[in-house]
Amino acid sequence: MQNNFIYLDNNATTPLDPRVLEAMMPYLTDMFGNASSSHKMGRQLKAVVDRSRRQVGDLIDVNEEDIYFMAGATEAINIALQGLPSRVGSTKHIITVQTEHPAVLDTCRYLENSGVEVTYLSVDEYGLIDFEELKQAFKDNTFLVSVMHVNNETGVIQDIEHIADIAHEHGALFMSDGTQSVGKLPIEASSFIDILTFSAHKFYGAKGVGGCYINPRLKIKSLVYGGGHEGGLRSGTLNVPGIVGMGKAAELAALGMADDKECIGKLRDVLEQQLLTIEGAKVNGSREQRIYTTSNIRFEGIDNEAVLLGLKDICVSNGSACHSFVMEPSHVLLAMGLSKEEANTAIRFSLGRFNTAEEIKQTVDAVTKTISQLRTMAF
């Protein structure tokens, strides 16, 4: 079905790559069985699941047996954060960041009610943490540092290798939410990450499937019982079509990452340069330490809800998709020092593999026209 949208909300979800759909189709039709069954079809399905595990492992440079399939990054984050404390003794302390995704922040707040102490690091005006503040945050009972790789709202990239080094120097584990970076940036997870979480639908796979890499030396208590699937970590019948699609998406990402970076980055830069010619337009977050897909721009004095309504068939965002129905200013932008009024003028443009130069031109024209109209109405 053809649509008439210009889609610039790829941080919320990417479209399904047609090549991924093609790989999935046999497992939605003829090969419909259960990968845990012992009959011929079940054995064949287990083989394709194992192949997908290798493809995902290759993408992030880890052994296939250390990849665990789940419903997505949110579930993986919950299992990791809730499953780890039970393995590390009676007193526990986690360090994370104020600008993390709600999947991390909400889970940490739940853990605080269960006796886990959590320190939430601040960020500077560019969205980056202070390494000295991180070092000062460690306590004798700190067992985990959890810092996302790429911020979903601003695209800001944290130096997770250096952060991991600091965590390990202090005897703590390092976990990263890789939802916005896996499949888009090269990651050699086995060399410095203890837990890395991800979702397929952020790199052109299907929704409802994702997972995590877990360092083989770690033992995490399961939260989902009922069959012992995925090494006992996450019970439930495997989503074979989704897993096959994620494997194919991982393979395509590994092969096309450099081309994606060049093509998407050029389009993002054109979009941003032209939008910044609008009076009062400013980029939120670091422009140097930022992924090539994302531009978060605030337009002085313009309510972002009004902009979204004015853009009609252009899909952009005024914050995290997980909070899309909550009319509150972005917690990320507030943590970076913006006022509520400034945060409510911000629009996130997130580009992907299938955007075109013509779409960027139309978007610039539409945004410029909409903001001009809104400013005229205000006077």
Which domain CATH number covers 280?
Answer: 3.90.1150.10
Residue 1, domain member (yes or no): no
Same domain, 273 and 348: yes
Q: Are 154 and 108 in contact (CB under 8 A)?
A: no
Structural domains in the chain (count) = 2
Residue 89, exposed/middle/buried by CB under 10 A (0-12, 13-18, 19+)? exposed
**Could you read off the pLDDT of 90-140 as tens digits, one per residue?**
679 999 999 999 999 999 999 999 889 999 999 999 999 999 999 999 999
Both tokens of 103, joined, read 């999947």
Distance CA 304, CA 348 (A): 10
- 133 located within any domain: yes
> For residue 1, is pLDDT > 50?
no
DSSP states along 149-218? SB-TTT-BBP-HHHHHHHHHHTT-EEEEE-TTTBTTB---GGGT-SEEEEEGGGTTS-TT-EEEEE-TT-
Max mean pLDDT range (71-85, 232-246, 254-268) = 254-268
Residue 354, helix vs strand vs coil:
coil
> Is residue 314 predicted with pLDDT exceeding 90?
yes
pLDDT at 334 over 60: yes
213 and 269 together in one domain: no
In angstroms, the CA 122 to CA 64 distance is 35
Query: Amino acid identity of 61?
Result: D
In a domain, residue 105? The reply is: yes
pLDDT at 234: 86
Mean pLDDT of 278-289: 97
CA distances in angstroms from 303 to 146, 317, 324, 331, listed in the order given: 33, 13, 15, 17
Q: What are phi and psi for residue 100, nearest 5 degrees?
A: -65, 165
Output the pTM of the full model.
Answer: 0.94
Percent of the chain with pLDDT over 70: 95
Q: What is the pLDDT at residue 377?
A: 81
Same structural domain, 247 and 316: no
Residue in the structure block whose two tokens are 């000295």: 132
Picking from 234, 252, 270, the residue at the C-terminal end of a domain is 252
Same domain, 72 and 33: yes
215-250 burial, b if ≥16 CB within 10 A, otherwise e?
beeeebebebeeeebbeebbeeebbbbbbbbbbbbb
Indicate if 307 and 335 belong to the same structural domain.
Answer: yes
Last residue of a domain, one of 200, 230, 252: 252
Q: What is the DSSP string of 103-159?
A: HHHHHHHHHHTTT-EEEEE---TTSPPPHHHHHHH--TTEEEEE--SB-TTT-BBP-
Q: In this predicted structure, what is the pLDDT of residue 260?
A: 97
Contact 276, 283 (CB under 8 A): yes
Q: What is the mean pLDDT of residues 30-57?
A: 94
Known catalytic residue: 322? yes
| Residues 233, 172 within the same domain | yes
Which domain does 343 fall in, by range? 6-14+257-378
Q: Are residues 165 and 307 in the same domain?
A: no
Residue 322 lies in a domain: yes
Residue 282 pairs with which residues in a beta bridge?
A: 298
Same domain, 227 and 276: no
Q: What is the pLDDT of residue 325?
A: 55
Q: Choose the catalytic residue: 212, 263, 315, 322.
A: 322
Residues 206 and 332 in one domain: no
Q: What is the pLDDT of residues 55-97, one digit of tens each?
A: 999 999 999 999 999 999 999 999 999 988 765 556 799 999 9
102 belongs to a structural domain: yes
Q: Decide if 131 contacts 209 (C-beta within 8 A).
A: no
CA angle 263-269-275, nearest 5°? Answer: 140
Q: Are 88 and 210 a contacting pair, CB within 8 Å?
A: no
The reply to whether 191 falls in a domain is yes
Tell whether 141 is covered by a domain. Answer: yes
Query: How far is 267 from 359, CA to CA, in rounded Å?
Result: 9
pLDDT tens per residue, range 13-34: 999 999 999 999 999 999 999 8
The DSSP symbol for 317 reads B
Residue bearing the bigger pLDDT, 266 or 115 = 266
For 131-181, how does the pLDDT look when each residue is reduced to its tens digit (9 = 90+)?
999 999 999 999 999 999 999 999 999 999 999 999 999 999 999 999 999
Q: What CA–CA distances, in Å, run from 96 to 77, 105, 167?
A: 13, 8, 11
Question: 65 CB contacts (<8 Å, ≥6 apart)?
Answer: 53, 216
Q: Supply the pLDDT for residue 2.
A: 58
**In the predicted structure, residue 4 carries a pLDDT above the cut 90:** no
173 and 58 assigned to the same domain = yes
Looking at the fold, whether 242 and 261 belong to one and the same domain comes out as no
Report which DSSP code applies to 93: E
Can you give the CATH number for the domain in which 153 is found? 3.40.640.10
For residue 57, tell me if it sits in a domain: yes
The last residue of a domain, from among 252, 274, 306: 252
User: What is the pLDDT, as a whole number, of residue 379?
Assistant: 59
For 199, the token pair is 């979702």
pLDDT confidence of residue 328? 84
Whether residues 263 and 214 share a domain: the answer is: no
DSSP secondary structure of 7-22: E-BTTT-PPPPHHHHH
Distances (CA, A) of 229 to 35, 82, 213, 232, 233: 10, 18, 16, 5, 7
